[in-house]
Structure 1
Amino acid sequence: MAVTLAIQALVSMATFTVPVLAPVALPELGGSIALIGLFVALIYLGAMVSSLLSGSWILRYGAIRISQVCLLLCGLGLSIAAAGQLWCLVLSALALGAGYGPVTPASSHILARTTPRHLMGLMFSLKQTGVPIGGVLAGMLVPSLVGVAGWRGALLVAALACVLMAVIAQYVREGLDDDRNAQVSQARRDPFKPLRMIFAMPRMRNLALCSLLFGAMQLCLTTYLVSYLTEDYGLALVSAGVILALTQGAGVVGRLLWGWVADHWLEPRRLLPLLALLMAISSLLTAAFTQSWPMALVVAVSMLFGATAIGWNGVYLAEVARLAPAGLAGQYTGGTLFFTYFGVVAGPPLFAGVTQLSQSMASGYLLFGALMLLIALLLWRFAGTASVRGDPG
């Protein structure tokens, strides 16, 4: 758990580092801050492809070895960005995406082998806290590094941290990669096999398709909340940033809480529609914000939004691993993340388009709240159908 959490946090920090540095670096490079949206989209496009291909790589080379390669790719991506040319950012984003995509399938493969089934929700959720922890590390450490070594130096220090973590992971590789099989065929021979596997299993297919909107909702929350609170609600930038930080913190707590609930109280197939419903309610309430709302209520709604829209991942990934045949959790996770990352890529532009047409960010949260309500109803129906058929928990 410690190794997978550290790897997840370092890779996540790497993807956040360039956006954190953007206000300092882009003026020097001659680019506008709007380019950061394209940079993030390219990261997740790369992650879509690499997560889809990662299942066979994990089986062939081992989850830790693939995680080490991911860390080195992230270090390479940060080093390329440090070259200080706008065109380098394209290569940087693609390298970061290639490194980001396989990390979650690799860690899921390890945890599926080593975690008792009655603890899968909590352990997968704990592992997934590495993503917001990486964001916190980037936000806290990278600006300080800029003050000491400049933005290029900060990128290189973050790259070095990824390389060091890859070296540290070597010490546990032999024990955790003991199930690797060199006879497994190369993923490039059949890159769409994970998708066919997922569509051949109705419950896995339903989860994967619903995760598309889950991923979109998460990115729309974190991408636009500060702008919405400053432009529509009228908060100062610093105050809006504090609310975003509280929202991210609620996401960390939510991941652990929902994991515990899934293990001890409400099985994942029942919990996921409830989380979708709470996301829908939170998004619709966010769309209703006006300056007459008390600050405490705005904070409470934002934290509920974060606890659900950021906190769902661990329960979802644990359910994917539980449904996957023995030894194939990484392959199925990589296939389902293809849909999740597609939602991450497509969601924010759709949100922005709706906002542009209506001249109000509230309409974006209204649309996504309505869509998430539909997803909640579909997931609840899927869960009921599985119960009638007698499918396992």
Structure 2
Amino acid sequence: MSTEPSSSGGHGHNLLLVLLLVTGVQAMATLSVLSLATLAPAVSAHFGVGAHFVGYQVSIIYISAAAISLIAGTLVRRWGAVATSQYALLLCIAGVLGLSTGNLLIVVAGSLLIGAGYGLTNPAASHLLFRFAPAAHRNLLFSIKQTAVPLGGVLAGLMLPALTALAGWRVALLAGSGLSAALFLILHLYRRHFDSDREPGRPLRKNLHYAMRLLAQRRDLIRLSIMAFCFSATQLSLMSFAVSMLVQDLATSLVIAGTVVSLMQGFGAFGRIFWGTIADRFTSGIPVLIIIGILSIASSLVMVFIDRTWPFAAVIALLCVFGACAIGWNGVFLAEVARVSRPEEVGSMTGMVLFFTFSGVVVGPTFFATVYGIIGSYPMAYGIMALFPIIGTLSLRGLGSTSPRH
């Protein structure tokens, strides 16, 4: 099968199918990543730690994701994008099963497995979408796929606390793994069809060194990587600690907090489609990413003033605006990476820049948890996190004129 994108009728059918499959994989991987964070107020008592310690568990996940992303693009070319997605789901299933044991050492190992699975998802999805997505709609299509991240968060917020209340947190985690297993079986039906372009003999080490040298020579990709590091630190801090902030600082119940955060994630999904649609009107996604950064800075700073005197509707509104921005940038970013990369390098370059994205996720929740441990206030910690979108937005200055490579 050709690696060139096409908008023909047959490819149009393939595009819809690919979009559904990669979106499903991303949603299930995100559900796995956020499982423990969503249940932190309930699970922390079992481990005898504060709920904010989940930030360190999230960081462990993304250390693993960052490491695997360095070779993910090459693995996609060797195994095929669908097979790689299946392996990603298997790793996530095994990891969540590890979390359900309640054994601290196994939880650490399970978190590493979840991270390895998560790190494989985006290069595989970018490889498939680039083959079938028309260039004129690429920002929107990448953004639709990236709605899977907040939708996975919505699923976590609605399903996991409710199942925990009914049957306990272990059962809730196992239910999420069951959904991933079902999608694994569905993917197997399409593996031969979509993996016809794989290259089983593609060397790992040689391609890793080549991709690293290529990235080092590309100023535009380096600055996009800095932005992604900062924006992802903000995003995961918002997603990981919002439930704990609502429960501990605003005295809401776990179920209500989970519902509010699901709404916030829903606005993040809407934001991804909205920003992707706007970005397709430009020749570059950079102006849209700058707007997102400015709005994220403002939202972070306003978070400082949240307390129990606020109308709850105002708290929800702020979280929804913050979510639409801090969770809404990824699709435009990935489409921009694809836009400035050569067609045969999309998977590899996606993997390389995601190394920095995942590194930001490692730093962000750890930094947030450390700040919270010092000042004891979630709203104040969110205000301090404004440093990240400030730096990320500044890194984009002057990139808007970058011309497309294909």
Compute the TM-score of the two structures, normalised by the length of structure 2: 0.85
CA change 1:281–1:202 in 2 (3 A) is same
8 A contact 2:41–2:244 mirrored in 1: no
Q: Aligned equivalents of 1:266 and 1:362: distance in 2?
A: 37
Indicate yes or no: 2:215 matched with 1:198.
yes
Aligned-partner residue type, residue 183 of structure 1: G
**2:300 pairs with 277, 283, 291, which one?**
283
Corresponding position of 1:100? 118
- What is the CA distance between 1:51 and its match in structure 2? 1.4
SS in 2 for 1:78: helix
Q: Aligned equivalents of 2:233 and 2:157: distance in 1?
A: 22
Q: Aligned equivalents of 1:229 and 1:156: distance in 2?
A: 25
Indicate yes or no: 2:153 matched with 1:135.
yes
Corresponding position of 1:317? 334
SS in 1 for 2:395: helix
For residues 337-377 of structure 1, the C-alpha deviation after alignment (integer angstroms, 9 at most, x for no partner) is 11111111111222343445455445433333244234323
CA change 1:30–1:68 in 2 (3 A) is same
CA change 1:114–1:282 in 2 (3 A) is same
For residues 8-67 of structure 1, the C-alpha deviation after alignment (integer angstroms, 9 at most, x for no partner) is 112222222334455555545666645533322211111111112111111111111111
Q: Aligned equivalents of 2:269 and 2:102: distance in 1?
A: 34
Unaligned runs of 5+ in 2: 1-18
Corresponding position of 2:20? 2
- What is the CA distance between 1:322 and its match in structure 2? 1.5
Q: CA RMSD in A?
A: 2.8
- What is the CA distance between 1:108 and its match in structure 2? 0.8
- What is the CA distance between 1:213 and its match in structure 2? 0.4
Corresponding position of 2:189? 171
Aligned positions, number: 387
Corresponding position of 1:299? 316
Indicate yes or no: 2:383 matched with 1:376.
no
Q: Aligned equivalents of 1:38 and 1:31: distance in 2?
A: 12
Unaligned runs of 5+ in 1: none
Q: Aligned equivalents of 1:155 and 1:245: distance in 2?
A: 17
8 A contact 1:8–1:103 mirrored in 2: yes
Indicate yes or no: 2:32 matched with 1:14.
yes
Q: Aligned equivalents of 1:141 and 1:290: distance in 2?
A: 27
8 A contact 1:76–1:95 mirrored in 2: yes
CA change 1:190–1:174 in 2 (3 A) is closer
More displaced stretch, 140-149 vs 9-18: 140-149
Corresponding position of 1:159? 177
**1:341 pairs with 355, 358, 373, which one?**
358
8 A contact 1:14–1:96 mirrored in 2: yes
Aligned-partner residue type, residue 170 of structure 1: H
Aligned-partner residue type, residue 310 of structure 1: I
Aligned-partner residue type, residue 9 of structure 1: A
**1:57 pairs with 75, 82, 92, which one?**
75
Corresponding position of 2:286? 269
Aligned-partner residue type, residue 26 of structure 2: Q
CA change 1:285–1:22 in 2 (3 A) is closer
Corresponding position of 2:11? none
For residues 313-339 of structure 1, the C-alpha deviation after alignment (integer angstroms, 9 at most, x for no partner) is 111111111212112211111111111
For residues 166-211 of structure 1, the C-alpha deviation after alignment (integer angstroms, 9 at most, x for no partner) is 2211111122112111231124x56454333222211111101111
For residues 250-309 of structure 1, the C-alpha deviation after alignment (integer angstroms, 9 at most, x for no partner) is 101101111111113573022111111111122122224466655554433322211110
8 A contact 2:58–2:365 mirrored in 1: no
More displaced stretch, 147-156 vs 254-263: 147-156
Compute the TM-score of the two structures, normalised by the length of structure 1: 0.87
Q: Aligned equivalents of 1:33 and 1:224: distance in 2?
A: 9
* Percent of paired sites with the same residue: 35
Indicate yes or no: 2:113 matched with 1:86.
no
SS in 2 for 1:71: helix
